[in-house]
């Protein structure tokens, strides 16, 4: 009996010393700051990156986001649309009668790692066998008419977000988010009408009169975010950023870890697509600063801010 009491007292002493020791140690070493995500590395872990990275308050439009007239005038110059700021505001109000009034991305959490695959349309995806890796990511962002059928081994099968503008629109299943990159007021009218009724309007290229998509999952890029990408990330090079580059920067704002596929020109310097033969052999990168965008992607990869899979 005395032996059992002695063991019990010894255990109490050891426990007390442990509590005392932890209390003393904690006074010298403050508690570790909670990380914003559970990934091996979060974007905020990159000090150099965070110094130049402006986490844009609202990359997506909402009813509470009031676009300044200065930003509207910058946006209006992207493609000819001479209509006024008041017309823009009226069209936005009507649009939010059809689509969700707020499209806030999933917030960061210390117990979650939001991984994103941003899948471009470059021909360098051919025979890449990146499909399974793309499908592993929690968010898969595809751009414009990028196909999956018949290319599953190289580009995967899953799509959670589809970035498009009216001239590049494709029908979506009921679970995929339509992310509209609107370049003109006409695009806002298109999304308002093409989802539920019939759109009739003319542009520089054909526009679908109807689109199959879940209107409750529609998100619209903030025009001010386009300007931010052009001026901060591309230093005003080119006329305006490509849809693909803006999608990549958007991913940096809504993800903790970003994997990038299918970016870059072909051997002739053209932005050709993996699913079709390029007809215009002198296309190059159009009005976009392709070489500047590609150099920035490579810099982000070198600094381990994104993981860039080049293909070929």
Q: Would the annotation count 79 as a binding residue?
A: yes
The phi, psi pair for 261, rounded to 5°, reads -130, 150
d(CA 187, CA 194): 10
Considering the candidates 161, 230, 259, 288, report the single residue annotated as catalytic: 288
Considering the candidates 228, 240, 274, 309, report the single residue annotated as catalytic: 240
Is 240 catalytic? The answer is yes
Contact in structure between 255 and 307 (CB atoms under 8 Å): no
Rg (CA), the chain: 25
Percent of the chain surpassing pLDDT 70: 83
- Judged against a pLDDT cut of 60, whether residue 249 lies above it is answered with yes
- Domains of the chain listed by start with CATH number: 43-104+112-309 (3.90.1480.20)
d(CA 77, CA 128): 38
Among 182-191, 218-227, 280-289, the minimum mean pLDDT is found in 280-289
Count of CA atoms in the C-beta half-sphere (13 A) of 32: 4
pTM of the model: 0.84
* Residue pLDDT, tens place only, 122-174: 999 999 999 999 999 999 999 999 999 999 999 999 999 999 999 999 999 99
Residue 43 tokens read as 């974007």
- Judged against a pLDDT cut of 70, whether residue 69 lies above it is answered with yes
- Judged against a pLDDT cut of 60, whether residue 6 lies above it is answered with no
How far, CA to CA in Å, does 286 sit from each of 204, 273, 280? 15, 14, 11
Q: Would the annotation count 144 as a binding residue?
A: yes
């Amino acid at each position: 009996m005395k032996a059992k009491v002695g063991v019990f007292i010894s255990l109490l002493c050891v426990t007390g010393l442990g509590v005392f020791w932890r209390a003393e140690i904690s006074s010298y070493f403050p508690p570790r700051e909670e990380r914003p995500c559970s990934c091996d590395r979060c974007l905020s872990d990159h000090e150099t990156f965070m110094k130049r990275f402006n986490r844009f308050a609202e990359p997506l439009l909402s009813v509470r986001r009031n676009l300044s007239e200065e930003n509207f005038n910058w946006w209006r110059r992207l493609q000819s649309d001479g209509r006024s700021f008041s017309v823009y505001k009226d069209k936005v109000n009507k649009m939010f009668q059809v689509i969700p009034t707020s499209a806030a991305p999933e917030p960061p959490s210390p117990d979650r790692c939001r991984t994103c695959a941003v899948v471009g349309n470059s021909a360098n995806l051919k025979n890449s066998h990146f499909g399974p890796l793309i499908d592993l990511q929690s968010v898969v962002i595809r751009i414009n008419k990028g196909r999956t059928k018949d290319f599953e081994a190289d580009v995967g099968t899953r799509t959670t977000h589809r970035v498009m503008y009216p001239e590049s629109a494709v029908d979506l299943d009921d679970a995929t988010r339509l992310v509209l990159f609107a370049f003109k007021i006409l695009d806002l009218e298109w999304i308002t009408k093409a989802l539920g009724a019939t759109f009739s309007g003319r542009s520089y290229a054909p526009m679908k009169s109807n689109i199959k998509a879940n209107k409750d999952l529609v998100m619209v890029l903030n025009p001010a975010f386009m300007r931010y990408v052009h001026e901060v990330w591309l230093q005003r090079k080119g006329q305006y950023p490509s849809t693909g580059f803006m999608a990549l920067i958007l991913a940096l704002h809504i993800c903790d870890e970003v994997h990038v596929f299918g970016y870059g020109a072909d051997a002739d310097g053209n932005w050709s697509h993996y699913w079709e033969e390029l007809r215009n052999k002198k296309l190059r990168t159009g009005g976009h600063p392709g070489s500047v965008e590609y150099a920035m992607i490579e810099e982000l990869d070198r600094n381990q801010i994104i993981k860039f899979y080049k293909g070929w």
